[in-house]
């Protein structure tokens, strides 16, 4: 662990002069790293992640409340689209934080999705570290720059709608038809059941999805249909 790397990251990437650089280093420290460095490292980033998640949600909520006079349900969907894992991963990649992550050898060689989740968690931990070291205003500035700036594109693309709502909006606008969902298959015992669901326009199946609940399977089916619809690979009539 070379402190100079984190000092450079703070100064050149975050544009912040940390009072306690150890806070930022902790933000990059995954639980697995402690297992291989018990004698030198005592703290991992999960508490900072917990704090950063709360600060992120507060800043985004405050921004949406102040700038958009929408009902609670719409504001909730907009907030969810901004703070979802994929958004955090994208921001973490923009900051190029992966080379600085402190991980065990096993986690370093893990699958891509696992590393992306670790990056998303680290991004929230960085917010927590900025909040503790610099205060709310500096954390807000960071969140404004790397999260809230995504809102314009989200509104343009309609990505704040969940897949079922988005599919219904698109299909009703283009075809004047309402999609319907049917369970195609159920597997497993009651305590560990999985579902396969199809989404249909009249009798024509336009998407299929699976999940551990009917709701999740429906959302995945809608996502599948949206993907095909946007690429013009299906006929809806």
pLDDT for 29-51, tens place per residue?
999 998 888 778 889 999 999 99
Instruction: Please report the pLDDT score of residue 125 as a whole number.
Output: 98
Query: pTM for the full model?
Result: 0.73
Catalytic residue among 53, 133, 175, 190: 53
Q: Which CATH number fits domain 3-156: 2.20.130.10, 1.10.3470.10, 1.10.1520.10, 1.20.1250.20?
A: 1.10.1520.10
Is the CATH number 3.30.160.20 carried by domain 163-230?
Answer: yes
Question: Which pair of structure tokens corresponds to residue 175?
Answer: 């075809």
Q: Is residue 53 flagged as an active site residue? A: yes
Residues of the chain with CATH 1.10.1520.10: 3-156
What residue ranges of the chain are covered by domains with CATH 3.30.160.20?
163-230
Return the beta strands (E) in the chain as ranges: 180-187, 194-201, 204-211
Instruction: Confirm whether 174 is a catalytic residue.
Output: no
pLDDT band at 188 (very low <50, low <70, confident <90, very high): confident
Instruction: List pLDDT tens digits, range 170-181.
Output: 888 888 889 999
Residues in the chain: 237
Cα distances from 206 to residues 161, 173, 195, 209, 217, in angstroms, run 19, 16, 17, 11, 14
Rg (CA), the chain: 21
231 has a pLDDT exceeding 70? no
pLDDT of amino acid 99 = 94
| Overall average pLDDT of the 192-219 stretch | 90
List the catalytic residue out of 2, 46, 49, 124.
124
> H-type helices in 104-206, by residue range?
105-108, 112-134, 136-146, 151-157, 163-175
Q: Are 221 and 197 in contact (CB under 8 A)?
A: yes
């Amino acid at each position: 662990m070379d402190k100079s790397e984190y000092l450079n990251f703070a100064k050149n990437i975050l544009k912040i002069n940390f009072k306690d650089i150890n806070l930022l280093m902790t933000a990059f420290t995954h639980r697995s790293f402690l297992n291989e460095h018990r004698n030198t490292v005592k703290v991992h980033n999960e508490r900072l992640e917990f704090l950063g998640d709360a600060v992120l949600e507060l800043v985004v909520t405050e921004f949406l409340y102040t700038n958009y006079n929408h009902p609670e349900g719409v504001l909730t969907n907009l907030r969810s689209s901004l703070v979802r894992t994929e958004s955090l991963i994208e921001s973490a990649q923009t900051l190029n934080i992966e080379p600085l992550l402190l991980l065990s050898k096993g986690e370093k060689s893990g699958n891509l999705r696992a590393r992306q989740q670790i990056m998303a968690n680290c991004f929230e931990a960085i917010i927590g570290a900025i909040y503790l070291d610099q205060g709310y205003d500096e954390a807000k500035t960071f969140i404004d720059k790397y999260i809230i700036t995504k809102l314009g594109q989200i509104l343009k693309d309609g990505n704040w709608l969940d897949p079922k709502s988005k599919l219904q909006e698109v299909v009703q606008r283009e075809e004047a038809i309402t999609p319907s969902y049917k369970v195609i298959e159920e597997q497993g015992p009651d305590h560990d059941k999985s579902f396969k669901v199809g989404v249909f326009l009249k009798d024509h199946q336009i998407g299929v999805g699976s999940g551990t609940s009917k709701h999740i399977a429906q959302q995945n089916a809608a996502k599948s249909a949206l993907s095909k619809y946007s690429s013009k690979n299906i006929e809806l009539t």
